[in-house]
Structure 1
C-alpha cells in the first residue's frame, strides 16, 4: 500500500503532475483562439458552457501550438529544461540548444503538442474531479441535515447508494492521480526521443568534446614537461649544492642561480598554461619556449645540477618552424628530465640534433648500467614524447640498445599542423 501511495502521490509523481498542469496552462491561450474559430463555425453563442465545443476548441488549438513551436526555436530548450527538472529525465539525453533543423523542429512540435494535449486534459480533470469527489465524500453527511442532493440524480438519495458515495469520491481522486502518473510517465518516456539531440547535433557535440579533450591533453603535457623537468632539475641542483657547499662555493653559486632561473621560467610557463584554463582571463604573457630561444639555457640549467651533457647540434634552430621548434624543445626537455630522474649526475648524457631526409632527428643516450628508466608508476614522459611526435607526423622510439638507454625521435620538417 505504501508503494502504491508513493507511486501515485510521491515527490516524483507530484513533479510530473505539476509539469502537466503547466502544459494545461500553456494550452489555454490556444483554446481561446480555438473558441474564436469554433464559435462562428458552429453558430454557438456560449462556447465556454458547452463541454463538446470546449473539446472541439481544444482540438483546434493544438495544431496552432505546434506551429508556434516551429516558429520559435527556443521552445525546445525551454521544454527540455522543464522536463529535466520536473520529469526526472537525465539532462544528457536532452538537447540544450534551439531547434534549427527541420527534423528537430518537427520533433519539438510533436512534443509541444503532446505536452499541451496531455496537460490540458489532466489540468481540466484536476479542476473538476477534486470538487466533485469532495461532494461525493460529504454527501451522506449533507443528506442528514438536508434533502438537497446538490443537483445530483435522485437515485443517489437511496441509503445504500449514499453509503458508497465516499468510496466513489476517493476512487475518483485515485483515478485522477493514476491518470496523471500514466500521462507523466508517457511524456517522460517520449521526451528523449522528441527533445533529444539530432544526429548532426550529436556529431557536433562529439567533435567539440574531442577538441576540448585535445586541448586538455596538450595542457597536461605542457604542465608535465615544464613543471616535471623544473622539479627534477631543481632537486638535483639543490642536492649538488648541498654536497659542495663547503668545498666549491663557486659551483654552489652557479647552482643557486640556475635554481632561481629555472623556477622563474617555470612560473612564467605555468602562468601561461593556467591562463588558458581561466575562463575569461587573458593568456599568460610568457612565450612558449623553443629550441631557437632557449636550447642553450636549457642545457646550462641542466648542467648546473651536475648532469654532464654533451650536445651536438647540426641544425639551425632559427630555421625551424615555430611549432616544430616548440615541440622539439619539449621533447629535449623531457629527455633530459628523464635522465635527471633515472641517471642522476653520475653519467654523461649525449644529445644530438640534426636534419636528415627532410626530418629533424633528436637522439639522447646515457649508459644503461646506472640508469633505471623503468621505474614503477613512470612512463608518462615517454608517452608524452610519443604523443608529440605522432601529432607532428613523426616517430619516437625509446629503449635499451647495447647497454645504452637511447631515445630517438624523427619529426618531419613540414609539420602537418
Structure 2
C-alpha cells in the first residue's frame, strides 16, 4: 500500500505530473490554431462549445506542434525539462540541438507525445477533481442534488452511499493516469531525446582523450616529484651523517639538492601549466636521455648511491618521444633503487633489432616502509611502455631486483 502511494503521489510522480501539465500548457496555442482551421471547415463559430470539436482542434494542433519542434532549441529545452522533472539520468539524454534528420524526427515524435499526453492529463486535471469533490460531498450537501447538471438518479440511497467512494476512486484514477503517462514519457525519453551513435562515439572519444591526458599528467607528476623527493631525502640524510667528517661530500650533496629541486620546480611548472585553464604550458622542456641522463646519474650518486651506467646507444639519435619516455623509465628505476636502498645499481641502455633496451638492476636492500595504497611507479612504467608498443618486465631473482624494458625505435 505504501509503495503504491509513492508511485501515485510521491515526489517523482508529482514532478512528472507537473511535466505533463507543462506539456498541456504548451499544447494550448496549437489547439487555438487547430480551432481556426477546423471552425471554417465545420461551419461552426463556437468551436469550444462542442466537446467533439474541442477534441478535433486538439488533434489538428498536434501535427502543427510536430512541425514547430524542428526548431533547434526544442530538443535542449525538452531535455532540460526531462532532466529536472522526469527523473531521467542526464547522461542518457543529448545536450545540444538535433543535427541529423533522424534526430529531428525523434524530437518531433517526443514533442508530439509530450503535448498530446500532457493535453489529456491537463484536461483531466481540470475536470476530474471538481466532479470527484462533488461526489464526495453529495451525502452532506443535499443542495448539490438540485444542480441543473446533476443526474436524476442521485436521489437513490445506494447512490449517495457510494458517491464518496466513487469520487475517491476518480481521484486515484486521475493520479494513476498521470503516473502512467509520466512513466511512459520517462521510459521513452532516452530513445527519443538520447544521443545518437555519432554523439556517443564523440563523447567516448572525448572522455578517452581526457583520461589519457589525466593519466599522462599523473605519471609525469609521480615520476618527476617522486624521484626528486626520494633523491633529496637521501642526499640530505647522507649529508647529515657525514656533516662533521666529510665537508666536501656535504657540499656536493647540497649542490645536488639545489640542482634537483630547481629542475623539478621547472618540470612541475610545465606539467601544471597544462592544468591551468587558459594558461600557456610551462616553458621548461620535458627531459630526455640526450638532455639530462648524465645529470640524472650524477644527482643519484650524490645521495651516496653507487651507480654504474653502460650506454651503448647514442641518446641524441633517439626519436624525441622514445628519448623522453626512456628518461622517465630510467628515472623511475633509479627512484625505486633509492627507496629500497639496494646497492649497487647498474643501468644499461642499448639498441638491438630496432628496439631500445633499458635495464636497471639493484640489490635487494631492506624492505621500505609501506605506503597506503602502495606505489604507482611500475604501473606508470607499464603504461608508458604499452602506449609505445613495447614490453616491460620487473621482478626479483637471486637477490637482485631487475627492470627490463624494450621500446620500439619507430614509436610515434
Q: Return the offset for 1:129.
A: 1.6
**SS of equivalent to 1:384:** helix
- Corresponding residue for 2:112? 113
Instruction: State the aligned residue count.
Output: 411
CA-to-aligned-CA distance 1:236-289 (integer Å, 9 cap, x gap): 111101111111122112212222322232233233323323444433333222
- Corresponding residue for 2:328? 330
Query: Is the Cα contact below 8 Å between 1:139 and 1:149 reproduced in 2?
Result: no
Distance 1:304 1:7 in 2: 71
- Further displaced range: 161-170 or 302-311: 161-170
Change (3 A) 1:399 1:135: closer
Q: Is residue 2:407 matched to residue 1:408?
A: no
Match of 1:288 among 247, 263, 286: 286
Distance 2:175 2:355 in 1: 74
Query: Is the Cα contact below 8 Å between 2:228 and 2:264 reproduced in 1?
Result: yes
- Further displaced range: 265-274 or 80-89: 265-274
Distance 1:234 1:276 in 2: 26
Distance 2:275 2:81 in 1: 32
Q: Return the offset for 1:227.
A: 1.6
Q: After the TM superposition, which residues 154-169 of structure 1 pair with which residues of structure 2 at under 5 Å, given as runs?
A: 154-169=152-167
Match of 2:245 among 233, 244, 247: 247
- Consecutive unaligned residues of structure 2, counting only runs of 5 or more, are none
Q: After the TM superposition, which residues 219-234 of structure 1 pair with which residues of structure 2 at under 5 Å, given as runs?
A: 219-234=217-232
CA-to-aligned-CA distance 1:270-329 (integer Å, 9 cap, x gap): 333233234444333332222222222212211111112222334333333321221111
Q: After the TM superposition, which residues 125-144 of structure 1 pair with which residues of structure 2 at under 5 Å, given as runs?
A: 125-144=124-143
Change (3 A) 1:5 1:352: closer
Distance 2:57 2:23 in 1: 16
Query: Is the Cα contact below 8 Å between 1:353 and 1:362 reproduced in 2?
Result: yes
CA-to-aligned-CA distance 1:128-178 (integer Å, 9 cap, x gap): 22222333334455435x874143233334555445443333332222112
Query: Is the Cα contact below 8 Å between 1:290 and 1:325 reproduced in 2?
Result: yes
Distance 1:5 1:313 in 2: 77
Q: Could you say what the CA RMSD is over the residues aligned between the two structures, in angstroms?
A: 2.6
- Further displaced range: 85-94 or 351-360: 351-360
**SS of equivalent to 2:169:** helix
- Corresponding residue for 2:16? 16
- Corresponding residue for 1:74? 73
- Corresponding residue for 1:390? 386
- Further displaced range: 119-128 or 43-52: 43-52
Q: After the TM superposition, which residues 10-409 of structure 1 pair with which residues of structure 2 at under 5 Å, given as runs?
A: 10-69=10-69, 71-144=70-143, 148-344=146-342, 347-368=343-364, 370=365, 380-400=376-396, 404-409=400-405
Query: Is the Cα contact below 8 Å between 2:145 and 2:154 reproduced in 1?
Result: no
- Consecutive unaligned residues of structure 1, counting only runs of 5 or more, are none
Query: Is the Cα contact below 8 Å between 1:241 and 1:255 reproduced in 2?
Result: yes
Q: Return the offset for 1:78.
A: 2.4
Distance 2:254 2:198 in 1: 57
CA-to-aligned-CA distance 1:86-117 (integer Å, 9 cap, x gap): 12222232232332233322222222211111
Query: Is the Cα contact below 8 Å between 1:149 and 1:157 reproduced in 2?
Result: no
Q: Return the offset for 1:202.
A: 2.4
- Further displaced range: 271-280 or 257-266: 271-280
Q: Return the offset for 1:341.
A: 1.4
Distance 1:386 1:3 in 2: 52
**SS of equivalent to 2:26:** helix
Q: So what's the TM-score if we normalise by structure 2?
A: 0.90
Q: So what's the TM-score if we normalise by structure 1?
A: 0.89
Query: Is the Cα contact below 8 Å between 1:31 and 1:60 reproduced in 2?
Result: yes
**SS of equivalent to 2:32:** helix
Change (3 A) 1:168 1:378: closer
